[in-house]
């Protein structure tokens, strides 16, 4: 389909990855070990090497920084992650190859954890397995004494661990998945940090805006939006509901997801039915059709009606085209509901945690 000009008004040149303290031959060996050789462009700079895919390679495999089809050529998830970073219009920077390797492992963890995550969706409720978590009004859900952080996060998000689905918002769910991915890397390569995360979560849950500040980088902006089809596996992504009326329903202001590679986005409520970019846009569009008012005058969302509308739309290609023309635009600024679509201009990804390049500054317990 043709995407609106608003969604493509940005650079689609690769900036790639800048690795300090690393010469060209070391980069060749590193990427070659993961099957990345043809089309790799390495540019030595003072104290670093800039690595990206060539323009000719991108024309064939990732035109306009489109990463949604890279899995068709990748032999592994790590290769897909690195290719996505190597065609990025945003420059990813690392102090050394070990820090880059760690960041790739964290993204891989997040993707694999997001694919396993299945939850119950209740915007006005929250529940965690009591064996591992307890709730305190000021602190939020904190770890029970003597329980490990990784096992506790898995128990809350992966139903195979407990046989039960727990109530989450999509925003909180992405926090648990990201924290789990970081903790799994820390368990192998930064045990001191894992101990700090454990101690912190026994006293206090980092949530919402503080979670963003402590654990994540955001890249892209409304002034310089990222390409509409550019995502790196492990990114946290926001899809905005551009309909002013249905966005007043709690939980339907938009949708937070993890890009899990293979052109797909997490669906924590039906994990066997992950979203494509197209199906996510169409679902959010039809939230306006599911908007209902109860006898007390409160707004609520009829999910069955949304599903029926989505199903009907998917049978009509011309209707799909019409909806995507509206939705696959960069969102309007906060508080504005005009010509914007549901695509965010930015993405979020975890800060580095390799010991000699750790970017985390945790609050003191």
3-state per-residue secondary structure call for 77-119: HHHHHHHHHHCCCCCEEECCHHHHHHHHHHHHHHHHHHHHCCC
Query: Which residues 6+ apart lie within 8 Å of 347 measured at CB?
Result: 218, 219, 220, 226, 231, 232, 235, 236, 237, 259
pLDDT of residue 315: 96
Mean pLDDT by 10 residues, the chain (365 residues): 40 90 95 96 95 97 97 97 98 98 98 96 77 92 94 97 92 96 98 97 93 97 96 98 95 95 96 97 98 94 96 97 96 92 97 97 87
The pLDDT score that the predictor gives to residue 146 is 87
Helix-, strand-, coil-residue percentages of the chain, each rounded to 5: 40, 15, 40
Q: Which residues make beta-bridge pairs with 240? A: 254
pLDDT of res. 4: 39
Beta bridge partners of 17: 51, 92
Helix (H, G, I), strand (E, B) or coil at 3: coil
Q: Please, what is the average pLDDT of the chain?
A: 94
Distance CA 35, CA 51 (A): 15
- pLDDT tens, position by position, 8-63: 444 578 999 999 999 999 999 999 999 999 999 999 999 999 999 999 999 999 99
List the chain domain ranges. Answer: 12-94, 105-219, 236-345
Judge whether 131 and 144 are in contact, CB under 8 Å: yes
């Amino acid at each position: 389909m043709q995407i609106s000009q608003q969604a493509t008004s940005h650079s689609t040149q690769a900036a790639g990855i800048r690795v300090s303290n690393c010469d060209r031959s070391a980069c060749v060996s590193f990427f070659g070990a993961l099957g990345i050789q043809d089309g790799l462009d390495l540019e030595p700079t003072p104290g670093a090497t800039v690595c990206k895919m060539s323009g000719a390679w991108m024309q064939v495999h990732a035109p306009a920084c489109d990463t949604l089809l890279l899995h068709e050529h990748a032999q592994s998830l790590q290769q897909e992650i690195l290719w996505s970073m190597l065609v990025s219009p945003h420059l990813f920077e690392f102090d050394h190859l070990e820090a880059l390797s760690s960041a790739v492992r964290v993204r891989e963890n997040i993707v694999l954890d997001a694919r396993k995550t299945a939850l119950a969706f209740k915007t006005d409720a929250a529940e965690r397995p009591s064996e591992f978590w307890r709730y305190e009004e000021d602190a939020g859900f904190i770890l029970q004494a003597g329980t490990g952080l990784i096992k506790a996060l898995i128990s809350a998000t992966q139903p195979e661990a407990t046989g039960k689905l727990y109530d989450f918002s999509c925003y909180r769910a992405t926090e648990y998945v990201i924290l789990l991915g970081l903790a799994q890397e820390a368990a192998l390569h930064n045990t001191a940090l894992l101990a700090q995360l454990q101690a912190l979560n026994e006293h206090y849950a980092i949530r919402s805006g503080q979670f963003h500040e402590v654990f994540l980088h955001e890249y892209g902006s409304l002034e310089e939006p990222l390409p509409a089809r550019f995502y790196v596996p492990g990114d946290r992504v926001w899809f905005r509901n551009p309909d002013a009326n249905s966005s007043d329903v709690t939980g339907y202001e938009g949708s937070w997801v993890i890009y899990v590679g293979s052109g797909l986005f997490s669906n924590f409520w039906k994990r066997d039915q992950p979203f494509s970019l197209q199906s996510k846009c169409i679902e959010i569009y039809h939230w306006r059709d599911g908007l209902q008012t109860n006898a007390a005058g409160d707004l609520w969302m009829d999910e069955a009606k949304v599903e029926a509308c989505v199903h009907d739309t998917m049978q009509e290609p011309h209707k799909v085209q019409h909806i995507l023309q509206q939705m696959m635009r960069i969102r309007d600024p906060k508080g504005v509901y005009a010509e914007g679509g549901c695509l965010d201009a930015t993405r979020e990804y975890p800060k580095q945690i390799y010991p000699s390049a750790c970017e985390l500054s945790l609050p003191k317990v």
